[in-house]
Structure 1
């Protein structure tokens, strides 16, 4: 299976088109071939098995995270999305379509890779669309762009984003300026929007080992910072994530005792189509994409060794 590598100065990135068009690694190549990993490196067995949950990051398209029971309606069309979690019988499908399909390489160079995925209408998603990704690397940062183009004859709902996994050694700190958090039920679906201790702690910088989270946040100001202590992966270091305004929602997944966590820039909250009638667009996000319209957004990872 082909892994495509981007190279710029000391930065490297690898992409694996056949496994959801996923990112498989992003690191600094130091002296003596020492690597400092900025995202969790992909598990090689998961690459061979085409298992996207073992990747460094994968695209979220045409919706982000879970959809309650896989059911929703939009302007007269009914979505009936099947359960799709590998090894899990949850009735709530997650992460959309793109993460579980091979993508086509449209262009590849030393500094940029363009991928695409053509999706036909089906009962799971009754609109035809084209998804695209662009990975760009320069000497300072990795930029990832995700888009969907509605190729159907009716307007389509859409959410886009990415699902990065970051290393989580003891002492890892995450800072993000957020307005509120969706509290979730036992099935990890949003129920109540609230402010409080978790939001306050993330605003000033939270030690992630003190929090267990799988929550959506609203009112994100499109920037987040991760700080790591010195360890076997490298010296004291940090990473800044910046996103386009469309990616105004933020998901933090920080399971107990894990050596990774996720900080996801997204354009809609979990289950947004079912929450929309009650809460309106502001707290849940999401987009209406007209026929032939393209929805696109980028985020950038800027690492720093200190």
Structure 2
């Protein structure tokens, strides 16, 4: 009698990396960051091994992040028509690679790299070769990506990432900082129609302040950066003495901040704050705003990371 193989997790193979008291798990499906903790304290609000990523948790969003109006666009004579996976708003959302299998390219105790070939299709008639690398060290978690246009013609490109950050407190009690001078103005389908200064508005988090009952599904831009070129946002829990920071390099010109008020699973609403580094705003394939143009054979690289700002893992400056 032949043996029956165990059923694999919905998110495929699980790649665990560690450094000291840090532990992260990345999945085969979507190169998704499923788990990240320090000394058993969750840094991201991820999902269980028997689940598939709900509400974009930890996913890679490429070749466009966020929403695309009716899934339709044209770029240098080519037309794309992506499936409407947000049908109630008639949008395509979060690109095409988050449910694809990714291959492990390299693996060590503290680092894993996964690759994916996005072949031409109706939603994106170009070929992209993608690599995402996750590394744990004394600075926390660093995520880097490389995207190469493997087509014979120029290709449009944008990318984002979707971690839900938690400092161990409910959102209403959390303190948020978003280093941005401007925010996007959205229509009722979540598509940007312009931008405006945050100064004097209830969306101004340039200085850390309590989230309270504020509902955010807001894109931020004109990011304020340090001398090292990095923009740093943070979520803090003063009562617990914890702060989790997200940093992003200069390729990431936008941050989407989402308090999870519309998550389908009510129990998961307002449990963590998604701070999503993005190279372009929603609908960039149609508007062209912030969209990268990759020539044949050209590649682009970027990086971002998460820093648990307490003394559990030593020096924490990226």
In the superposition, the TM-score normalised over structure 1's length comes to 0.87
Deviation at 1:5?
Answer: 1.1
Distance 2:55 2:181 in 1: 31
Distance 1:213 1:54 in 2: 15
Deviation at 1:26?
Answer: 0.8
- Structure 1 unaligned runs (5+)? 30-34, 277-283
**Alignment of structure 1 residues 108-123 onto 2, 5 Å:** 108-123=107-122
Deviation at 1:285?
Answer: 1.2
Q: Structure 1 residue 293 and structure 2 residue 298: aligned? A: yes
The residue that corresponds to 1:94 in the other structure is 93
The residue that corresponds to 2:242 in the other structure is 237
Cα contact 1:174–1:225 (8 A) shared by 2: yes
Question: Greater share of helix residues, 1 or 2?
Answer: 1
Distance 1:252 1:291 in 2: 33
- 3-state SS of the aligned residue for 1:40? coil
| Structure 1 stretches of 4+ moved >3 Å | 196-200
Aligned length: 283
The residue that corresponds to 1:70 in the other structure is 71
- Structure 2 unaligned runs (5+)? 1-8, 225-230, 262-268, 312-318
Q: Structure 1 residue 174 and structure 2 residue 186: aligned? A: no
Deviation at 1:246?
Answer: 0.3
Cα contact 1:22–1:55 (8 A) shared by 2: no
Distance 2:125 2:143 in 1: 27
Distance 1:295 1:69 in 2: 27
Distance 1:56 1:8 in 2: 22
Q: Structure 1 residue 267 and structure 2 residue 269: aligned? A: no
- 3-state SS of the aligned residue for 2:173? coil
Deviation at 1:52?
Answer: 2.5
Q: Structure 1 residue 204 and structure 2 residue 207: aligned? A: yes
The residue that corresponds to 1:136 in the other structure is 135
Deviation at 1:140?
Answer: 2.9
In the superposition, the TM-score normalised over structure 2's length comes to 0.84
**Alignment of structure 1 residues 217-228 onto 2, 5 Å:** 217-221=220-224, 222-228=231-237
